[in-house]
Amino acid sequence: MSPATGRADRRRNRERLIEAAAEVFRRDGPAAPLEEIARRAGVGSATLHRHFGSRRDLLEAVCADGIDQLCVRAGELAAGDGDAAADLWGWLDELVRFASATRGVVGVLLAEPPGPELPVCHSNRLRDVLGPLRARAAGSGAVHPEATVDDLLALVTGISRVTEDAPEAASRLLRLARAGVGSDRISHERVARVGGA
Amino acid sequence: MSPATGRADRRRNRERLIEAAAEVFRRDGPAAPLEEIARRAGVGSATLHRHFGSRRDLLEAVCADGIDQLCVRAGELAAGDGDAAADLWGWLDELVRFASATRGVVGVLLAEPPGPELPVCHSNRLRDVLGPLRARAAGSGAVHPEATVDDLLALVTGISRVTEDAPEAASRLLRLARAGVGSDRISHERVARVGGA
DNA sequence: GATGAAACGGAGAGAGTCTCCGTTTCGCGA
DNA sequence: TCGCGAAACGGAGACTCTCTCCGTTTCATC
């Protein structure tokens, strides 16, 4: 990451690339050709590769703002004194909707192994802010005792990946998983049927 | 699909290609180069493409045996008079373990949209055999009333995709989703911690 | 405005997918 | 067994996409 440092043309091109990438990924998904992004940004392909060493780097940059907001929100919730269960599940719902709404872009980031060479990647940041939220909710019995932070992230990741472009469906699956797919308890306030498939 | 028809050399090459593909996909994952598969099968790349029009076709062929067995098994369970809940969840566990054990090969098949041009693809076959299993289990309250067949398949697909090569972890996530990640009921017989991460 | 460093961009190498078309192999009937 | 037409094959190459090299341009500073 090199947000606001270096020469003016470098900063400008970086912004243009991220903007173009957001549009193209939104239209064609996370596997869209990088050349197309460079063209739309009005720069050469070498410049794109100089700024973003891999497709993943570019995907992370495109998602950065959304992830930042989610992390800030998690921090606020964890520091507040609201309903711990509502805080946790509300935040997970925001996360799963965000991930689903980006045509799989966030799903790619969450699903691909971060690897030791990416110490500050988004997966790890989300993992860090989710910890306190889960811990608070666990105290009030709103989380299965066996469900770790990694379990929660894995479920959210899986749900995001099968509901690309359908945030309502993602939200619904999350509520089902929360209530228990094998449960016979009808809890309509938790799992109301929604529009998406 | 063209299983046992046509000329002898065609059948032989088809078998060799599926065998080679199984090895290569297992070693390098579902994105492995197709040329490598053709080389290992001892045929030209044109022959590979003549037999399998797309990567997906080849993936489906590689998985066909496993899926066949799962479908047969589902049919037996649905026709039997065993414990409906155990039948459903045991079968889903088999499915999720199978999908996870194939280095994401089955996950790709399940996750990519089948599309109307693939009427008899594996996703649809699994969907068909899962229906009766779910219906039977629903009668005994072993399925959340709001959880449709598509919900179950979506969860299984998502779980498979985030646990490639880790069947134990996949199995564990399925049990968590079954019991309810947001549940505070400790049900160790359902969700026992297992080795995989 | 001169200068050195930083950044740029086009051309092309490399990898992979898929197709064209001349050649080989198969199966069948004589 | 042989001959023949259809079916299948395989290598060469076109096409696409990623990524790098290196000569050129732009920026910031003096």
Question: How far apart are alpha carbons A67 and A141 in whole angstroms?
Answer: 27
Which region, left, alpha or beta, applies to residue B6 given φ > 0 means left and ψ of -120 to 50 means alpha? Answer: left
B4 touches strand D (CB under 7 A): no
Measured from the Cβ of residue A4, the count of other Cβ atoms closer than 10 Å reads 6
pLDDT tens track for A96-135: 999 988 877 876 777 665 555 555 678 889 999 999 999 9
Q: What is the pTM of this model?
A: 0.87
Q: Is the minimum CB–CB distance between B127 and chain A shorter than 8 Å?
A: no
The closest of B151, B106, B176, B131 to A159, measured between CA atoms, is B151
CB of A25 closer than 8 Å to CB of A103: yes
CB of A108 closer than 8 Å to CB of A59: yes
CB of A171 closer than 8 Å to CB of B133: no
**Distance from residue A4's CA to nucleotide C3's C1', rounded to whole Å:** 26
Is the pLDDT at A195 greater than 80? The verdict is no
CB of B171 closer than 8 Å to CB of B194: yes
pLDDT tens track for A60-90: 999 999 999 999 999 999 999 999 999 999 9
Question: How far apart are alpha carbons B172 and B196 in whole angstroms?
Answer: 9
- Average pLDDT of adjacent 10-residue blocks, chain B of 197 residues: 78 98 94 97 98 94 94 97 96 94 77 57 88 94 93 93 89 95 60 43
Question: How far apart are alpha carbons B194 and B172 in whole angstroms?
Answer: 7
The closest of A152, A121, A158 to A134, measured between CA atoms, is A152
Nucleotides of C under 7 A from a protein CB: 6-12, 15-21, 25-27
8 Å CB contact of B142 and A197: no
CB of B151 closer than 8 Å to CB of A173: yes
Best B162, B163, B171, B194 member to test A by mutation, with max A CBs in 10 Å, is B162
**Distance from residue B50's CA to nucleotide D9's C1', rounded to whole Å:** 10
8 Å CB contact of B155 and A176: yes
Q: Closest nt to B14 (CA→C1')?
A: D8
**Residue-level pLDDT at B53:** 94
